[in-house]
Structure 1
Amino acid sequence: MADFTSIVRQVLHELKETSNTVKIFSDRGKNLTADTLAQLGETLKMNEPVCVSVQDDNSGFKKYACTTPVGKHILAIAANIDSSASVVQDQITEHQCKLLVSFPERLANVVAENQYSTFLFDATLYWERLCDTVLLFNFSKAQHTNNCEGVQVDTMHLLNVLKVVTVSLLRRGKSDIMMRRLGALPKHFFHGDHFCERFVRLMEAVFEASKQAHFSLKSQRRAEVSNLWHRWNSLLLHLIEKRTEIKAAILSAISVLINAPSGNNSTQLANNMFETICVHQLSVAGPTRTIARTIIRDFLPTVAGAADAKSALTHREQKCFTELFQKWENKEFVTSADLSLNIGLLHPVMYALLYLHKEKSAEGRFPDAFVGALLNGVTIRLDSTRGPELRNCAMTVAAAYAALFVTSADGVAPLLQDADFSAALNEWMKEEPSTSQYVATMSTATQMKMPVAVELGFEVRVSSLAEPFPLDPDEEYHFFVKQDQHREDKSIAARTIDAPVPLLQLDSTDAPLPSFGQQKYIKDELDEHVSILSSIRECYNALVGVGRSPNAQLHEVQEATESGLRGLSDAFAKLRQRIGSDLFSVVGRETGPLLAVLLPTLISLSIHAPEEQKQHLVQLRYGIMVDLIVLNPPLALNQLGEMVYRSNYGIYQRTELIKAIGEAASVLSHVEVAPVHAASNMTGDEQVTVTKKLKRVYPPIPTHELSSDCRTSVVVSEGKRTRRWGNAVVERQNRTRPKQYSNLLGDVAGAFVAVFLNRLDADYFAFFQEVDPYTPCAILDSLTTIFQGITNVRHVAAELSEKNFDFFFAVCTRHPNLSVRKAAWAAVVEVMRTWCGVAPLWIRRKDGERILNRDAAPYRSLVFTKAWLSALEVLQHTCREMVQKNDPCGRTALIAVSTLRDLVCDRNDFHTMLARVEDHISGE
């Protein structure tokens, strides 16, 4: 079976060839794209259930196997994770997982390029199979066997990959699919400690996908979640409502999660979990009656905790019921909110009354803190004119409160003897299941306080609760339908792992070769017919010393070093003109394994030559490192991230590495797009004619009167000094055409930033000490270049700037070196400008000099978000404190803040001017 990467590459290549093929009218009926997509579905085994096997031998190692290419690709990603656990490695893993999740969208984009094709790929089925794979890898238990088959993968690496895939799926809006596939798992998956442990990891992934980034310092940050978090938990509660057999297991797992010992991440997750279930679901979401009963009766007692001596309620119970009764007494909610939400709020309030009476009221008293809110809500609804439903809710709550908490018989009898109040309470209790513990509670409390006549009627009503019908009004009426479970049972049965699933293992001869095994690629030829991969391999051997004699002399080593540097420089200089092409991608992929050795070798080279020649070779080395980063950013940055903070490199070596990273980011942010020549759309004969026309033609030089030596010299120099012959005219025309540029930095900007910010804490630059301001300043300079390069990539720039504002703010205020603090304030200005969408203030030229960008404020494109304005307020407050304390960096901070403040004022002035012009025009 072909791996997922090969399948995707082949399908995308075939679809692109189909879209580029010139179709005549008779061929348009042949839908080659549909055949390709249908074959793709079979190749990916989308029509087959996912089967996962987890096997464990006596040695303790686990082996995983999966029958689908997607599952094998996930195992391959996990197997390729090294033990370094670097941030760049995490970026690579995240990028690979995003490519896996976004495959249907990328496929649709390729199909859309062909106007005669239709996208017939079932994307929903693809994501369902992907969710099945993730869930089965998560919840499958290991089977103990002596003969294990599969791929040996570190379980923690696999769980990390599954977490990244889950985060990517949920952020793309696939929570419904994920929850639907979770509900389709067999019952035996939802048992034991293994399920609780893996369920907590699943919820951590959901929580990570729901987090919203903020600008403030991480020590002061409070995790806030998006609506995705509330929607996921709402779907989870609806799943419990439908599948009652797994209700106890899921509630137990959630209770374990919330009651877990305190920790940085676990505390945030537990607090948000309790907040969304016991506060948001009850007070905001408008739950069904079954969900409200489940939360208050079954779930809240397990997570409430212990109360202190001063209060009968625990902190969590107070938080839950305070929000609930505040919503109940909110007049605006009663008068303006949707009527169904008002009616739905009755169920949480009623179950709260029953819970407080049964669990927390030993003396039969209602908590004093909630009495006012409860009675205010009843009064507002009784006086409301929106409809009889609200009056009915008020009478139900009032009758229940009187029956449960009013101790005086004179006070409760008139209320319960009222036909409307009594009927409302009886109507609500009629729909309470007979197995509910609250039926006996309400019956006993009512019997003790009601007169005999009323008591008999209420007893008859209670006796009717033993009947199986009527059903819950919120439940779907499926009791008379015989569900067609054949297809689902078949799918579930095939996914069980009770028995080990034997999978054919590839022989060692059939395994994929190392990446740099091939020395030549089909398109690996430049204009001068130079084989790039062979040239790079030879230069690599010369620099590293492969095949060199141990007794080699110094001059031989220097000659090999110089030839290797010049060879790599020439190859990359020609290749840089094709950045983003297929040839560039192939060369970058094939040279990836060399980077781990080539980059440390380059930075450690000892060059012995005259000063002028040495400076030239150092510049060649610097350019080669930049080209290597541009060729394969993820792998190169992964290697450089370890080298920058390695103690065996000097200050100047580290500074050179850091500058190379910034230069590579600058190159990727401004890549010229090669024009599509008209010859590509011509026939073969026409292309040959055009090629012949572009062949260099030189003027005839008479040689019949010259000697043989002169004739030779004329042939050698023919056409070298001509002006208007050859392709001079064509080149002058190309020089005047408008150039188009593309920004390739946006896709890998996160990896560039992660090279420097893999340890974000207060003592970040402690590694360099105070005596080394050069390296921190170089890091800030390269980071500034990176953020300047992604200004026009708005879907990346705003989020990345907001997420990393903490680092720059910490350096501005906490670094011990004055030069570094001043450089950090200059960097903060550029990061804030990138965040709001304005062009850089300073532009760095090729010679390294920075010049002021005077056209840097396109007022129409500025976006000052709430987080940006809050960050500006923090900077202003910090600047004010520094000026008051006569901080030596205060003047620099004042200039930086004033520059940012000018953006807001200029934008306001610009819009004021436009408004005046429009008023003037309308007045005329």
Structure 2
Amino acid sequence: MDFVTIERQALHALRDSSKVIKIPSDRENDRTADTLAQLVEKLKMNEPVCVSVQVHDSRFQKYACTTPVGKHILELAARIDCSGSVVQDQITENQCQLLVSFPERLANVVSQNRNATFLFDATLYWERLCDTVLLFHFTKAQQADNGEGVKVDTKHLLKVLKMLAVLLLRRGKSDIMIRRLGMIPKYLFDGEHFCDRFANLIEAAFEASKQLHFSLKSQRRAEVSSLWHRWNSLLFQLIEKRAEIKDVVLSALSALINAPAGGNSIQLANNVFDTVCVHQLSIAGPTRAIARTIVKDFLPAVAGAADANHGLTHREQECFSALFKKWENKEFVTSADLSLNMRLLHPVMYVLLYLHKKAPAESRFPDAFVGALLNGVTIRLDSTRGPELRNCAMTVAAAYATLFVTSADGVAPLLQDANFSAALNEWMKEEPGTSQYAEAVSAATQMKNKPVVAVGLEMRVSSLVEVFPLDPDEEYHFFARPSHSKEEKSIAAQTIDAPVAIVQLDSTEAPLPSFGQQKYAKDELGEHVSILSSIRECYNALVGVGRSPNAQLHEVQEATESGLRGLSDAFGKLRQRIGSDLFNAVSRETGPLVAVLLPTLISLSIHAPEDQKQYLVQLRYTIIVDLIVLNPPLALNQLGGMVYRSNYGIYQRTELIKAIGEAAFVLSQVEVAPASAASTGTGHEQAMVTEKLQRIYPPIPTHELSSGRKPSIVVSEGKSTRRWGNAVVERHNRTRPRHYSNLLGDVAAAFVAVFLHKLDADHFAFFQEVDPYTPCAILDSLTSVFQGITNVRHVAAELSEKNFDFFFAVCTRHPNLSVRKAAWASMVEVMRTWCGVAPLWIRRKDGERIFNRDAVAYRSLVFTKTWLSALEILQHTCADMVQKSDPCGHTALIAVSSLRDLVCDRDDFYSMLARVEERALEE
């Protein structure tokens, strides 16, 4: 009996039993149990799957399977013809979908019978399905021909198996698939046949983890979801548990990455390398065994040819850059899970051993990674989280000194410390033949006051010739504990900023340079307070760094208020210099704060009188907007998960959504100072006056003024009068023409993706709720984004066309009337942006929208065929709504009429122009 018949009979029997009136004396309750038990027997779920393959010819092979599911898969493959039509592929995919979703459809029918006492084992069904898929993949063909089996084209069978694997993995069955892969007999993991079929399985996993096409998910670099990283993580866990297949699987992965370019092979190879050598080492926190396998066994096979300038291949540089960037990330050290910090030690140590083994004669650590390595060690040595982080730092420091520092004066002081040498020896115990690195180098250093060679490590002598980042050729003194005499001499030495003689730099008693950039030129807020220092202090005040656990409520409120005011002042100055070098530098330095600062701001509890509270809430909103403007990629990535998170209230979520739209509006109109004004004498004088403004007392409380009056008052010292002299300069500046630049075009896709890239079945529920606040706020912010990119034509048309389906779906299918009306208004703006017409409604500084009477711009007006087709769809939809007396029909009629007027106005304009030309020719 085939699978379709078994399925139909079981579902009919279960539906019939649920309709029967239950009598206590009857045994109707056993009907469902009997039906499900017979179903398990018919599907042979309690029997192992057996697959046989026989060679028939070069194209076809005979396949046989003992289970109805396997026979059904063969039937699906045999039905596929060579036409390659889209309809045929869709039919096959639907059949595969029915096969994978059978336990869920069965559960829906069983749930209708409340008295059911037997449960269907869905996990066992999926395990048998995975066994069938894997055995069809890897079973080798035999030469014997006994006449049994179904003749199937191998390519068609692989196509069906790929569809099934994709559907299984998208349903979260990757752990089942990997577990069943580990139970395949060892003789199937061999030869070229396994490598070819394993590549097909990896392609299926990659296809399953690709981001959906809806709303520009492919704009991100990886283009894959977390499913892809989980699949590869489970795969490496499997080969560590089953060592006999380790070499074969690694060889197949290496062959996949090193395969010649063709089709999608480059994209697949890059993503395999990225998830294994970048994500697994730097982000996932691998175990020691997995880190050893990736660095020692896998990376050398896929590294490729080395770069003559750097000595490292492109793939090695990509892998090590991500690892050391994570190693020196202070937020990761201080805030991330302690176990992840501990597991990051293993990849770093194996990379050190890898780099030394790569060029043992030179023993030179790459210059690009020295600063990050030592900076990470410094952060961990200064950390107060626990002795584990200090132990990690001492292990890496001792390994670096042992492997790459050849000066006896540099190695001896550090390795003579019992803690450093003990930490290194403890870690090295699990590495065969390398357990006594530190002891060997320390003993050799005590016997000879010269460069030594221990355990095959060639040392070399160098001197300190640069400030941070340290040169890898210098003597290694950073982690050595200086003696009292050195401390006294360093106190009397000159400061780092003062000129230092070359002799003093070569001396081991010279003061050590400071690490990290503290501030930038021309970044002071006033009274010698730098922007970076101000942002850091405000961050500490808001997050509570250094705050006593017994702090009173008024102390917390004072810290919150001071933090909000400080960030407002700092970001207020930066907003005036968007796009400048200072703005970009501060954006780069404050990037790690965004992930913590945004959730902290939106979750603040403000305890103050009502007027003061409203002012602080407005400050918070402005700061969130400025954070998005300061670093759009990081901020939008963080907000993408916060907007749909259930632990935020409706008002918090609405505030975040409005802030995103406001940030898009700010980026769309960035004022650019004309270069001519800065070069003239008057402009230079004005710039000097602005830079030398001093605080006067008593200060004017500008926070209580409206936004329109703030620019007219400058709280500083004037040229002629005590208070109002600079107002003359302000009035003079207003007479100059203003130039604006649109910076929204480069990040517009990210702004749209914040709202739409997670609109799967769960998140789309926000657009189906009765409550209209969240959907309307999202539509309003999306409208602001599309209005802002109207003049960025290389972005606007494509982005509008790709997201038309979403707005059309909300217009027609949302259950709430208010949301449908708002969607029609947004649809008008999207269509106008698409064809190049200015927005119909424009936003003022206070947030109010007013009608734009100069909306038509004929120079950029382009009606493409796709745009006209979209307008035709809207017209038909509007006609149906009016005919059915839909409550939203009047709004839709106005929206479609305004769009239709654009076409009519264009036609009238050209017809009038043609008449004028005809009259001119007649005259």
TM class by shorter-chain length? 0.5 to 0.7
Contact 1:65 1:149 in 2 (8 A): yes
| Counterpart in the other structure of 1:93 | 92
1:831 matches 2:805: yes
1:128–1:177 Cα contact (<8 Å) kept: yes
Equivalent AA in structure 2 for residue 122 of structure 1: D
**AA of the residue aligned to 1:889:** F
> Partners in 1 of 2:865 and 2:838 — Cα distance?
9
Corresponding letter in the other structure for 1:161 = V
| Equivalence map 1:385-424=2 (5 Å) | 385-424=384-423
CA distance in 2, matches of 1:197, 1:398: 44
Matched, 1:157 2:156: yes
Which secondary structure does the structure 2 equivalent of 1:62 belong to?
strand
Give the superposition deviation at 1:26: 1.3
Structure 1 residue 893: deviation in Å?
6.3
Aligned partner of 1:737 in structure 2 is: none
Distance 1:874 1:274 in 2: 40
- What's 2:913 paired with? none
Once the two structures are superposed, residues 840-880 of structure 1 have per-residue CA deviations (whole angstroms, 9 ceiling, x without a partner) of 79xxxxxxxxxxx996844799999xxx9999998488989
Distance 1:406 1:854, change over 3 A: closer
- 1:34 is aligned to 33
Equivalent residue, structure 2, for 1:677: none
Aligned residue runs from structure 1 range 216-365, under 5 A = 224-360=223-359, 362-365=361-364
C-alpha distance in structure 1 between counterparts of 2:204 and 2:158, whole Å: 10
Structure 1 position 838, deviation (Å): 2.8
Query: Could you say if the C-alpha distance between residues 393 and 869 of structure 1 is closer, same or farther in structure 2, counting changes exceeding 3 Å?
Result: farther
Deviation per CA, 1:421-468, whole angstroms, max 9, x where unpaired? 00000000012245xxx6698888777656589x99x99xxxxxxxxx
**Conserved 8 A contact 1:382-1:391:** yes
Deviation at 1:310, TM superposition (A): 1.4
> Contact 1:70/1:130 (CA < 8 Å) preserved in 2?
yes
Matched, 1:118 2:127: no
CA RMSD of aligned residues (A): 4.4
Distance 2:241 2:73 in 1: 31
Q: Any conservation in 1 of the 2:211–2:217 contact (CA below 8 Å)?
A: no
Give the superposition deviation at 1:45: 0.5
The alignment partner of 2:306 has SS state of coil
1:342 is paired with a residue whose SS is: helix
8 Å CA contact 1:312–1:360 kept in 2: the answer is no
Percent same amino acid among aligned pairs? 64
Classify the secondary structure of the residue corresponding to 1:212.
Answer: coil
Distance 1:86 1:189 in 2: 34
How far is the alpha carbon of 1:302 from its aligned partner?
Answer: 0.4
Equivalent residue of 2:63, what SS?
strand
- Partners in 2 of 1:863 and 1:181 — Cα distance? 53
Cα shift at 1:832: 3.1
Could you tell me how far apart the structure 2 residues matched to 1:338 and 1:156 are? 46
Aligned ranges for residues 302-701 of structure 1 at < 5 Å? Answer: 302-360=301-359, 362-433=361-432, 451=447
Q: Which amino acid aligns with 1:173?
A: G
How far did residue 58 of structure 1 move? 5.9
Whole-Å separation in 2 of the counterparts to 1:217 and 1:160:
27
Q: Identify the residue that residue 845 of structure 1 maps to in structure 2.
A: none
After TM superposition, give the deviation of residue 309 of structure 1 in Å: 1.6
| Distance verdict in 2 for CA 1:51–1:878, change over 3 Å | farther
How many residues end up aligned between the 2 structures?
530
How has the CA–CA distance of structure 1 residues 16 and 216 changed in structure 2, closer, same or farther, with 3 Å as cutoff?
closer
Please give the alpha-carbon distance, in whole angstroms, between the structure 2 residues aligned to 1:826 and 1:59. 49
Alignment check: 8 A CA contact 1:838 1:856 kept: no
Q: Where does structure 1 lack aligned partners over 5 or more consecutive residues?
A: 460-789, 799-808, 814-820, 842-852, 901-906, 911-924
C-alpha contact (below 8 Å) 2:229/2:275 kept by paired residues: yes
User: For the residues of structure 2 that align with 1:135 and 1:873, how far apart are their CA atoms?
Assistant: 52
| Aligned counterparts of 1:281 and 1:794: Cα–Cα separation in 2 | 28
Given the superposition, is the C-alpha separation of residues 791 and 254 from structure 1 closer, same or farther in structure 2, using an over 3 Å criterion?
closer
Question: What is the DSSP-based 3-state SS (H/G/I as helix, E as strand, rest coil) of the residue aligned with 1:427?
Answer: helix
Partner Cα distance (2:106, 2:194) in 1: 35
Structure 2 counterparts to residues 766-777 of structure 1, below 5 A? none
Residue in 2 aligned with 1:889?
Answer: 863
Letter in 2 for 1:831: D
Residue in structure 2 matched with residue 606 of structure 1 by the alignment: none
Per-residue deviation at 1:216? Answer: 7.5
Aligned to 2:811, the other structure's residue is in SS state coil
Distance (Å, rounded) in 2 between the aligned partners of 1:433 and 1:869: 70
Question: Does structure 2 conserve the Cα–Cα contact (< 8 Å) formed by 1:57 and 1:147?
Answer: no
CA contact (8 A) 2:836 2:857 kept: no
Tell whether the 8 Å contact from 1:19 to 1:114 is kept in structure 2 after alignment. Answer: yes
Aligned pairs for 1:793-812 within 5 A:
none
Please tell me the residue identity of whatever aligns with 1:79.
A
Which residue type is aligned with residue 812 of structure 2? A
Cα distance per residue 1:33-69 (max 9 Å; x no partner): 0111111111101111000000014676310000000
Call closer, same or farther: CA 1:174–1:447 in 2, change over 3 Å: farther
Amino acid at match of 1:410: D
Q: CA deviation at 1:830?
A: 5.8
Aligned partner letter, 1:149: E
- For 2:181, the equivalent position in structure 1 comes to 182
Distance 1:429 1:309, change over 3 A: same
Task: Kindly indicate whether the alpha-carbon contact (under 8 Å) linking 2:53 and 2:64 is maintained by their aligned counterparts in 1.
Answer: yes
* 2:835–2:863 Cα contact (<8 Å) kept: no
Instruction: Evaluate the alpha carbon distance shift between residue 27 and residue 321 of structure 1 in structure 2; reply closer, same or farther with a 3 A threshold.
Output: same
Other-structure match for 1:67: 66
Q: Is the 8 A contact 1:791 1:834 kept in 2?
A: no
1:722-801 equivalences under 5 Å are none
Equivalent pair of 2:54/2:145 in contact (CA under 8 Å): no
In structure 2, what is the Cα distance between the partners aligned to 1:227 and 1:59?
39
Q: Is this contact kept in 2: 1:883–1:890, CA < 8 A?
A: no
Instruction: Give CA-to-partner distance per residue, 1:637-678, whole Å, 9 cap, x none.
Output: xxxxxxxxxxxxxxxxxxxxxxxxxxxxxxxxxxxxxxxxxx
Amino acid paired to 2:30: N
By how many angstroms is 1:343 displaced?
A: 0.7
**Residues 878/243 of structure 1: CA separation in 2 closer, same or farther (3 Å cut):** farther
Question: Distance in 1 between the 2:429 and 2:29 partners?
Answer: 65
Shift of 1:30: 4.0
TM-score of the pair, normalised by structure 1: 0.52
TM-score, normalised to structure 2, is 0.52
In structure 1, C-alpha distance between the alignment counterparts of 2:760 and 2:407, rounded to whole Å: 72
For 1:71 and 1:53, the matched residues in 2 are separated by 11
**Secondary structure in 2 matching 1:143:** coil
Q: Distance in 2 between matches of 1:443 and 1:871?
A: 70
Residues 344 and 161 (structure 1), Cα distance of their counterparts in 2 relative to 1, 3 Å cut = same
Query: Which secondary structure does the structure 1 equivalent of 2:355 belong to?
Result: helix
| 2: CA distance, partners of 1:301 / 1:871 | 51
Distance in 1 (CA, whole Å) between partners of 2:832 and 2:354 is 46
Q: Kindly indicate whether the alpha-carbon contact (under 8 Å) linking 2:29 and 2:115 is maintained by their aligned counterparts in 1.
A: no
Equivalent position SS for 1:31:
helix
Q: Which amino acid counterpart does residue 296 of structure 1 have in structure 2?
A: V
CA drift at 1:385: 0.7
Who is 1:575 aligned against?
none
Paired residue type of 1:347:
H
Classify 1:335/1:47 alpha carbon distance in 2 versus 1 (closer, same or farther; 3 Å). same
Give me the whole-angstrom Cα distance separating, in 1, the residues matched to 2:395 and 2:30: 65
Contact 2:408/2:445 (CA < 8 Å) preserved in 1? yes
Taking the aligned partners of 2:817 and 2:838, their CA distance within structure 1 comes to 27
The residue aligned with 1:53 is 52
CA contact (8 A) 1:286 1:344 kept: yes
> C-alpha separation between the residues in 1 aligned to 2:345 and 2:210?
31
